Amino acid sequence: MPIEMNGPGGASLSIVNGSSPELLQAACQLFEQVFPEDRRYLPYLRACAQGNHPSHPNTYDHVWLVGLNGQWVGVRIFSYITTRTFGHGAYIGFTPQARGAGLGTWLVEQTLRQLDDDARKFGTGKSLGYLVEVERPIDAETEEERKKDERRLQFHRQCGGIILPVPFVEPVMIEGVDYISPADLQGESPRPMHLVLIPSERGNSLQNLNLVDFVHGLYYDVYRLPRGHAFVKNALSYLLGGKNE
């Protein structure tokens, strides 16, 4: 059932979880429509809809649908990192006809509100915001892809996003999950990405943010990489001046 009804144009949010198979099916169908290049990650969406999936021991996951004028027009997947004070934004997307109407900014605001609620639930006060990996336009292979990547980056900037000065490589998938096999991800490879912080009110109020904690939280607690992984060392090399973490 809807959890928020005051979005632009009367948009609403609905929680997707294991008790609503119809909503889960709708979320999967919309995900395929909005992110056709990521169809193989549908098992990740289904796992996140459980909220506390065993393969995600350090995150409290959310899947939302955005409804407008009787249709599903947006999907949101994000998590609160229970071992830290911030979240991870995995996916946010809308159908073409729903773009440009302020729904994205509104959905980011609702995400930050939910992360504050999660932080209180897990005893950490208020969230600092959330991290999101954004494609780098410089890596695009075509002009069309470059423009799309620039639009995505600009959207996050308009939402207050801060590009962190960290050389970041996005792993193909969370380590050790039981719902996707290596064969399912054949052809996928790690990608360099911009690591962007969407700060909450609390995050904006702090003069200094712990970038090392952000790196650790995303790589160790979300992606479950082993300690000392090359991706971690590479990301921290800039922050720590080449020293060991």
Q: CATH assignment of 2-239, given 3.20.20.70, 3.30.465.10, 3.10.20.30, 3.40.630.30? A: 3.40.630.30
Does the pLDDT at position 2 exceed 60?
no
pLDDT(148) > 60: yes
- Residue 48 corresponds to which tokens in the numbers above? 């996140």
User: What is the pLDDT at residue 120?
Assistant: 96
Of 135, 207, 195, 199, give the one whose Cα is nearest residue 165. Answer: 195
Mean pLDDT along residues 176-204: 94
Tokens representing 242 are 């080449």
Q: How does pLDDT run across 86-145, given as a tens digit for each residue?
A: 999 999 999 999 998 899 999 999 999 999 999 999 998 899 999 999 999 999 999 999
Rounded CA-CA distance 109/124 in Å is 19
DSSP code of 20? -
- Domains of the chain by residue range: 2-239
What pLDDT was estimated at residue 238? 78
Alpha carbon distance 98, 121 (integer Å): 33
CA distance 244 to 212: 12
- Distance between CA 237 and CA 130 in Å, rounded? 22
What does the pLDDT look like over 50-88, one tens digit per residue? 999 999 999 999 999 999 999 999 999 999 999 999 999
AA identity, residue 112:
L
Q: Answer whether residue 18 shows pLDDT above 90.
A: no
Judged by DSSP in three states, 89 sits in: strand
Q: Which pTM does this prediction carry?
A: 0.94
Nearest to 61, CA basis, from 46, 50, 71? 50
